[in-house]
Structures are given as structure tokens and as C-alpha cells.
Amino acid sequence: MKDTFYAYIKTLQDTITSKLEEVDGTATFKEDLWERPEGGGGRTRVIENGAVFEKGGVNISAVHGALPESMQNYFGVKDADFFACGLSLVLHPKNPMVPTVHANWRYFEMYDKEGNIVDQWFGGGQDLTPYYLFDEDAIHFHSTCKTACDKHHPSFHKKYKERCDTYFWNAHRNEARGLGGLFFDYCKATDTMSMEDWFNFVTEVGDSFLDAYVPIVIKRKELTYTKEQRDWQEIRRGRYVEFNLVHDKGTLFGLRTNGRIESILMSLPPHVQWHYNHHPEEGSEEERLLQVLETPKDWV
């Protein structure tokens, strides 16, 4: 399974970066191959200063070795080894009318000292973080997620949409990071779902990503915007940074397993603002966005 899934994410990385370069029309992804001293490595691809994408990364990694003590305590195990692979992407567009997007699809195995698999699971999802709210964009993104889920189980979309709303919640701000999407984790074999079934579901969602996001980018990338709207984008980016550094499990896992810091923090935008006690104007589009972020909404 680990070889099959790693082959999948390598191909998916190629597919996604090629399409995003086509959409941007100016910038290309720079590739950085790296190795982890404890075992494994990855292929980082970063795009910067493009016509559409100010900064973005589409990274894959496959790492293995002894599970660090901090993670042993987290999982409640002793002297375990692990293998983890996944694709993680974040795209920060230049135009504030184009939303930021994040996605991740991953697979994990844990072994005893004899090398036997004692646990394995899939995880992942994709979510949208706009700065200006276009309802039809939210509906499109969530509808695409629902279509992918419905091919595998009628309960998946509702369940994983709710988990996304719960997970991407900036608790210290009491607001959502964005409009959500899908979030699933610890997807293990059961009487009704084999690991092959989970593989088929996760790859279905991965394959749906470009359909969910690219039409929104194409529709919004040429819209005009003001300096004030750009400032708002950078203020909201600050909330994105706060979530990733305070709450995000993927960031914390990477830091606790001696992950490659440049790849882990590629999700952070290049230009961000923090204003003291900032509040948008009453009745503005900026305030409307905040109202939606305070109470997650069902878009489909």
C-alpha cells in the first residue's frame, strides 16, 4: 500500500504543478530534492512571484524510522517505527479576490520492532480560505467535494465537512480559518471499508482538487482590487499563519519528527499584517466574511 500510494502522489504532484503553471502563465515551480538523516526524504516544489500565485508549494515526502519519543507519547506506544508519506499544498494568490487553498493527502504505517505493521491509516482533505466572499465559488468548491465523496459513501460528505469545520477552527479567535471543505483522518480498515477502499476514496478526493479550485482562480484572477482590499487580504493571512503555527497537526508532526523546516513552513505567505484590535467597517464585504466565519455554513 505504501508503495502504491507514494507512486500516486508523485504523479499527482506532476499533474497539479503543471496545471498551476499553465494557469499562472509566468512563474514556474522550482524543485528541491531533500533527504532526512533519519530516513526518507521528499520533493519540494515552490512557485513565487507569479502573475497569479504570489507564493505556493506542492510538496511530497516519504519519511521513515524510529518514532520520536514525543510522538510515541502522542500515540500511546513504545519503541515503534513508522512510515509516513503524503502530498501537501498551499497556494497564496496575489489578487485578494482569489482565495487561498490548502490540501493534503497522506498515508501512515506503524511497526513493531519485528517490522510487522501494527497500525495503518489514511488522512487528508482540502479547504478554501477566501478574503472576499463569492457565494458561487463556495458552492462550487463544496459541490465538487461532495461529488467525490458521494461516489464512495452517502455519509462521507456531511461527516468530513463537519470535521473540517471543527478542525480548521482558530479557537483563540473563535472563528473558522476559512470556508472549510473536507477533513478526514485515521481512516482504517473496518468490516465495511478495506484499506483498498480507503485508497480509492482518498485518491478520488485528490483527483478532484484541480476541478474544485482552478475554475475559481480563472474566474477571479483578473478582477481589479484596491490597496485597502490588499491590506485586508494580508490581515486575514495573519489568521492563517496563527492557525498553522498554533493548531495545525501536520505542522506539529513535522516539527516533532525533525522534518525539513523549509518544507513545513512553505505554507506561510510572504506578506502579512497584524493590526492591533482591527475591525472591518460595519456593513462591508469584509464584515460579511467574518460573519460567515463565525458560524460554519452548509454550502450544498
Whether 90 contacts 267, CB under 8 Å: yes
Q: In what order do the strands lie in the sheet with 53-66?
A: 30-35, 40-48, 53-66, 81-93, 100-111, 117-129, 180-187
In the chain, at which residue ranges do the beta strands (DSSP E only) sit? 30-35, 40-48, 53-66, 81-93, 100-111, 117-129, 169-170, 175-176, 180-187
- Which whole-number Å values give the CA distances from 185 to 36, 130, 163, in the listed order? 24, 24, 9
Of 44, 54, 40, 41, nearest in space to 13 by CA: 44
What distance separates the 2 farthest-apart alpha carbons in the chain?
Answer: 63
102 assigned to active site: yes
Among residues 92, 102, 140, 157, the one annotated as catalytic is 102
Please give the positions annotated as active site: 102
